[in-house]
Amino acid sequence: MKDHLIQTTLSNGLKILLKEVHTAPIISSWVWYRVGSRDEVQGRTGISHWVEHMQFKGTDQFPANILDKAISREGGSWNAFTYLDWTAYFETMPADKIDLALRLESDRMSSSRFHSDEVASERTVIISEREGHENEPLFLLGEAVQQTAFRIHPYHHEVIGDMADLRTISRDDLYNHYRTFYVPNNAVMAVAGDFDTKSMLGRIRELFEPIPAGGDPARLSRPEPLQNGEVRLSVEGPGATSYVQVCYRFPPAPHPDFFPLSVLDSLLAGPSNLNMFSGGISNKTSRLYRALVDKEYVVGVHGGAQATIDPFMYTITMTIHPRRKPEEALAALDKEIQRLKDEKVTKEEITRAIKQARALFAYGSENITNQGFWLGYAEMFADYSWFETYLDKLSAVTAKDVLRVANEYFKPQRRVVGTYIPLEGKTSA
């Protein structure tokens, strides 16, 4: 996994990571900004995601529909993501066409227009996006659980934002947010693929170095106080299927406990895949599958954590068996959690978790886009060495470590339990 990598920082503070990969005539270019839903105050929730949408609405040099047509014409693929801690933009292009992506990203780092008529039409698009989410029981439940778990920390709201704010955020709010956070000193550029490092770096300097540095944007920092007691909630909605989500507090990605917890996740719920473009594997021999699905308390169970800057959550989601009650599934889950706290896991289970992680990394490396993704992604919550040493850190985990973190992080008084209650045709009171 350790590849030849060039890292440097331009005079305006833009950090650059370049990795030559000559397996296909393709280059993937990524720009990451240190801004996400955790940088939003009440009244402005969803603004980071909305700014991301506005970044596709054009600059003077690349007006809106010129932009997407130009990328498509060259056979490229492009998209953007807004998350808790970051916003990322990528273009994966035939190698000889990458210059278009570089010019586009340098241009929209500081010159997007944010025309008010574009803001108006995008408002209803984003409201429609949220309405689509609201059709899903698991979105409704997840949103309720997250806002309950975080009262103080800005991780409390969904990336899409609250409907009230989507109706009122103004053009100037959006533009100010953009100008505050979209500065080279708050960004990381990562490029992987079929290029020559020297000429790629030269071209990046030419395009990006003239962009002046901005102030260092302050990030919201309101640590969530210790939770002292389990919180339970319920959400009612359409459907015939019940769901239960159980969320425990999890450490941030750079924390040493993240690795024994990743091993624990692997054997409890099946390995989570942190990479975005290559999917996971089944979890039918995980402890939770055996205890909950095989025993017919639930018809499906999934667990996973996210790599974040501040402590976030480990979420277990259960789709309740039609003949069972949510409480029965929860009781069966609790038995397994207790087992983790009482008994040391076996050496074999740890070895298995490491092999699973190795396989998932191998699948991810088939794809240039994914290689570009990892370069910058790890920078958003740690640095690239976090990724390079990931397997080594997993390999160092012992059964004792797993037992310790199970007891430390899986405390009932630090969890939120949410239940989705289907109304089965009845109307909510």
Partner 1 sequence: MNKMNSLPGPNDIYREVLPNGITVLTRSNFNSPSVVIAGYLEAGALFDPDEKLGLAEYTVLSLMRGTMDHTFDEIYHALESVGAGLGFNTGVHKSGLHGRSLAEDLPLLLKLLSEALTTPTFPKAELDKLRAQLLTGLAIRAEDTSDMASMVFDKVLFKDHPYSRPEDGYPETIKSIKRSDLVKFHREHYGPRGMVIAIVGGVKPEEAVRQVKRALGGWETKGQREVPALPPLKPLKKTVSKHHHIRGKSQADLIIGTNGPMRRDPEFMSASIGNNILGQFGMMGRIGDVVREKSGLAYYAYSSLSAGLGPGSWEVSAGVNPQNVKKASELILDELKRFVQEGVTADELADTKANFVGRLPLSLESNGGVANALLNIERHQLGLDYYHRYADLVNEVTAEDVLTTARKFIDPDKLVIAAAGP
Give the residue with the Cβ less far from partner 1, 147 or 278.
278
- Rule CB under 8 A: say whether 126 interacts with partner 1: yes
The binder of partner 1 chosen from 292, 368, 397, 417 (CB under 8 A): 368
Q: Which residues ranging from 82 to 111 are in contact with partner 1 (CB under 8 A)?
A: 92, 94-95, 97
- Rule CB under 8 A: say whether 300 interacts with partner 1: yes
β-bridge pairing 15-20 and 6-9: antiparallel
- Reported as type and span, the H/E element at residue 203 is helix 197-208
- Rule CB under 8 A: say whether 429 interacts with partner 1: no
Query: Among the candidate windows 8-16, 22-30, 196-204, 214-222, which touches partner 1 by CB under 8 A?
Result: 22-30
Q: Which residues ranging from 41 to 70 are in contact with partner 1 (CB under 8 A)?
A: 56, 64-65, 68-69
Residue 335 and residue 291 in contact, taking contact as beta carbons nearer than 8 Å = yes
Give the residue with the Cβ less far from partner 1, 220 or 281.
281
Amino acid at 195: F
The CB-of-49 to partner 1 minimum distance in angstroms stands at: 12
The CB-of-270 to partner 1 minimum distance in angstroms stands at: 7
Q: How many residues bind partner 1 (CB under 8 A)?
A: 78
The binder of partner 1 chosen from 5, 13, 110, 129 (CB under 8 A): 129
R_g of the chain computed on alpha carbons: 23
Cα–chain-centroid distance for residue 400? 29
Q: How many CB atoms lie within 10 A of CB 395?
A: 16
- Rule CB under 8 A: say whether 202 interacts with partner 1: no
Q: Which of 7, 406, 411, 38 is nearest to 219 (CA)?
A: 38
β-bridge pairing 415-422 and 77-82: unpaired
- Rule CB under 8 A: say whether 388 interacts with partner 1: no
Query: Among the candidate windows 42-50, 132-140, 150-158, 227-235, which touches partner 1 by CB under 8 A?
Result: 132-140
Query: Among the candidate windows 174-182, 291-299, 336-344, 390-398, which touches partner 1 by CB under 8 A?
Result: 291-299
Q: Which two tokens stand for residue 362?
A: 């191998």
Q: Which of 367, 369, 337, 215 is nearest to 265 (CA)?
A: 337
Q: Which residues of 315-344 are buried (b: 16+ CB within 10 A; e: fewer)?
A: bbbbbbbeebebebbbebbeebbeebeeee
- Rule CB under 8 A: say whether 425 interacts with partner 1: yes
H helices within 256-324, ranges in order?
A: 258-269, 287-288
Rounded-to-integer distance, Cα 76 and Cα 100, Å = 10
Print the binding letters for residues 246-285 with partner 1: x by CB under 8 A, - otherwise.
Answer: ------------------------xx------x--xxxxx
Rounded-to-integer distance, Cα 141 and Cα 333, Å = 18
Query: Among the candidate windows 4-12, 42-50, 221-229, 289-297, which touches partner 1 by CB under 8 A?
Result: 289-297
- Rule CB under 8 A: say whether 346 interacts with partner 1: no
The CB-of-271 to partner 1 minimum distance in angstroms stands at: 7
Give the residue with the Cβ less far from partner 1, 251 or 270.
270
- Rule CB under 8 A: say whether 135 interacts with partner 1: yes
Give the residue with the Cβ less far from partner 1, 107 or 118.
118
Q: Which residues of 61-76 are buried (b: 16+ CB within 10 A; e: fewer)?
A: ebeeeebeebbeebeb
- Rule CB under 8 A: say whether 325 interacts with partner 1: no
The binder of partner 1 chosen from 294, 327, 334, 343 (CB under 8 A): 294
The CB-of-210 to partner 1 minimum distance in angstroms stands at: 28
How far, in Å, are 1, 327, 359 from residue 263 at the CA level?
19, 27, 14
Rounded-to-integer distance, Cα 5 and Cα 7, Å = 7
Q: Which residues ranging from 215 to 244 are in contact with partner 1 (CB under 8 A)?
A: 237-241
The binder of partner 1 chosen from 43, 63, 132, 412 (CB under 8 A): 132
Q: Which long-range contacts (CB under 8 A, 24 or more apart) does 425-428 make?
A: 428/236, 428/237
